[in-house]
Amino acid sequence: MNSLLWRGWGVAALASVVVPLVLAQAGMAQSLANQTNRGVVEAETGNTDGISVKIADDLAGLLNDGATRRVVPVIGEGSLQNIIDVKALRGIDMAIVQIDALDYAKGQRLAQGLESITYIAKLYNEEFHLLARADVKSIDALAGKKVNFDGRGTGTGVTATRLFTLLAIKVEPTNYSTGAAIGRLMKGELDAVAFVGAKPSPVFRELASTDGLHFLSIPVRPAITAAYAPTRITAKDYPGLVAEDAPVDTVAVGTALIAANLVPGSERFRNVVNFVDAFFTQFPSLLDVGHHPKWREVNLAADIPGWRRFPAAEQWLRANATVAKKTSSPDLKTVFERFLEERSKAGGAPVLTQQQKDEFFTEFQRWQAGQVH
């Protein structure tokens, strides 16, 4: 047989084996890619100092079904950067951010079209911590001093800047990570460290007053309470830093789960719709032991003034109004009464009657209605 003819036959024979094999492998790879990406939503969190990583992990653990839905948490750099990422970073479908950072970003026009961002749900509150050296007796004493505001682009920076501005206290901000800042505080290189995070925060877990540190109170003034909810840090939260009979007044910052401006009908849009339905439907399971206790603060039906809700979330709430009410956290009056009781106990005041609680709540509603948000 002619050698060229033989060689041609060999190539043809080889091709008849290799080509189908390559095509089969390509088909398998495409099938694997389709399967792996089916129902995927990427949810960006804050950094590892906060609890949003755990919150996203709770969502993934509950909702990932291995076939039609998968939540992929992505560790972000802070609320302001998360907001920009939701607007511009490829693949990010949702993010957990502080609400005051969301308002700040829109007000400062940090990126075009931020008004198109929608929220899926208002989540939990995070507390403002102000850790200082023992020789710093009050927040007023920080005037002209070095106060760490966490890394650039973080929600802590937004909240700290706003609070010190409202209190008319001018400080010298620094931007170390919270862990590094605490080390510098203990060395005397800083005067205080600001941090927004759900109590009890792991970053303060190993600290004690014997380290020469303590939390400073945030004054409860109309300008502050018009922007933030008053709350307290107690010995139960940080037994090493707070005395049983000396709770620390501070404020809480709301957080939200926001959604990217996705094209309706697109695959990513459908994936987020699928996520919303599963999240809202299975929300009661997040209140069980084993999930972060901050889920118990979440009210799915709570609105965020000035922002529009993601359409599928709005539709779910309208269609399931009764269910949403049952799965919501305690109503405002219940929370307010609990706040009054804690204040009375801490201050040694007499226990309030129900009539007195009702009167205080009515007065609070009148005050709240007159506030500018």
Lowest-pLDDT range of 17-31, 123-137, 173-187: 17-31
Mean of the pLDDT values across residues 43-64? 91
Peptide bond before residue 202 is cis, with ω within 30 degrees of 0: no
pLDDT for res 110: 84
Does residue 127 sit in the same domain as residue 32?
A: no
One domain for residues 30 and 60: no
Domain that holds residue 13: 1-37
What is the C-alpha to C-alpha distance for residues 314 and 308, in angstroms, rounded to an integer? Answer: 9
Local confidence band at 10 (pLDDT 50, 70, 90 cut-offs): low
pLDDT above 90: residue 169: yes
**Averaged pLDDT, 201-223:** 89
Mark whether 106 and 8 lie in a shared domain: no
Write down the pLDDT at residue 294.
92
Return the C-alpha torsion angle 357, 359, 363, 366, nearest 10. Answer: 110
User: Which CATH number does the domain housing residue 59 bear?
Assistant: 3.40.190.10
Same domain for 120 and 164? yes
Which pLDDT does position 373 carry in this prediction?
Answer: 37
Q: What is the pLDDT of residue 372?
A: 37
156 & 103 share domain: yes
* Better pLDDT: 316 or 361: 316
pLDDT of residue 112: 84
Q: 335 and 314, same structural domain?
A: no
What pLDDT, on a 0 to 100 scale, did the predictor assign at position 141? 96
What's the chain's average pLDDT? Answer: 84
For position 32, what pLDDT does the model report? 47
Q: Pick 332 or 99 by higher pLDDT.
A: 99
The mean pLDDT value for 194-214 works out to: 90
Percent of the chain with pLDDT over 70: 78
Identify whether residues 350 and 204 lie together within a single domain.
no
Q: Give the list of residues 6+ apart from residue 203 with CB closer than 8 angstroms, or none.
A: 49, 178, 179, 182, 195, 197
**What pLDDT does residue 364 have?**
63
What is the model's pTM?
A: 0.77
Classify residue 286 by burial, with Cβ atoms within 10 Å: 0-12, 13-18, 19+.
Answer: buried
pLDDT: which is higher, 38 or 179: 179
For residues 24 and 84, state if they share a domain.
no
Same domain, 254 and 125: yes
- Residues 222, 242 within the same domain: yes
Same domain, 318 and 349: no
- How many structural domains are present in the chain? 3
pLDDT at 371: 41
In terms of domains, do 254 and 309 share one?
yes
pLDDT of residue 351 exceeding 50 = yes
